[in-house]
Amino acid sequence: MKTSTRSSSVSTKAHSPKLGPGEYRPEGIFLRPEDLPRPKRLHERRATPSQPCPTCGRPASKHRTYRRSLYDFGDLRSGRPCILELTYSQHYCRACQKYFNQDLSDVTAPKSLYTRRVQDLAVRLVVEDGLPYRSASWHLWRDHRVFVPFATLQNWVEAGGKKGHGAHGH
């Protein structure tokens, strides 16, 4: 009885009677990554004891593990960005006497700081929806909680050579 009285008074306080469902509530624009809320870290372990050698196909045992930190889509409930901590393995093939890293191409591009799904969506916002780089960058933060500087976005699209082949085709 006591509990229900308290919770109903809290909910009355939280809602101002003037606010309708379409109320516009702007949010500050972040200009620097260091101003963003503290990221959540999610861990994914990819390392395996053995992998087939890409050259000869023989099983190659794990030599050591490495970790990469990748910006992924953030968490909309808390409003925080997310970093995927990906652990992967390096292997040594005795037959070829070569080291090789585990294939991560389904998750991220080589040397990228972002997951492939973030990169794919970012490029689509520009190529399919025709958004300018700054708008696409803002969309990614506002709706997906991932900060991609517009210059980075521009590099991705230009590297893919796709701008102008979508709705704006010449």
Could you say which of 12, 42, 43, 56 contacts Zn ion (CB under 5 A)?
A: 56
Interface with Zn ion, residue 159, by CB under 5 A? no
With CB under 5 A as the rule, give the number of residues binding Zn ion.
6
Window of 22-30, 50-58, 112-120, 152-160 that interacts with Zn ion by CB under 5 A: 50-58
Convert 148-166 into a string of H (helix), E (strand) and C (coil): CCHHHHHHHHHHHCCCCCC
**Minimal CA–CA distance to 114: which of 142, 89, 144, 135?**
144
Site for Zn ion in 85-144 (CB under 5 A): 93, 95-96
Where do the H-state alpha helices sit in the chain? 2-14, 116-127, 133-144, 150-160
Say if CB 39 and CB 33 are below 8 A apart: no
Q: Which is nearer to Zn ion, 42 or 95 (CB)?
A: 95
Amino acid 109 reads: A
Return d(Cα 82, Cα 127) in angstroms, integer.
25
Return d(Cα 169, Cα 141) in angstroms, integer.
27
Could you say which of 50, 55, 69, 78 contacts Zn ion (CB under 5 A)?
A: 55
Q: Which is nearer to Zn ion, 29 or 95 (CB)?
A: 95
Q: Which is nearer to Zn ion, 47 or 96 (CB)?
A: 96
CB of 110 to Zn ion, least distance (A): 21
Interface with Zn ion, residue 53, by CB under 5 A? yes
Interface with Zn ion, residue 61, by CB under 5 A? no
**Residues within the interface to Zn ion (CB under 5 A):** 53, 55-56, 93, 95-96
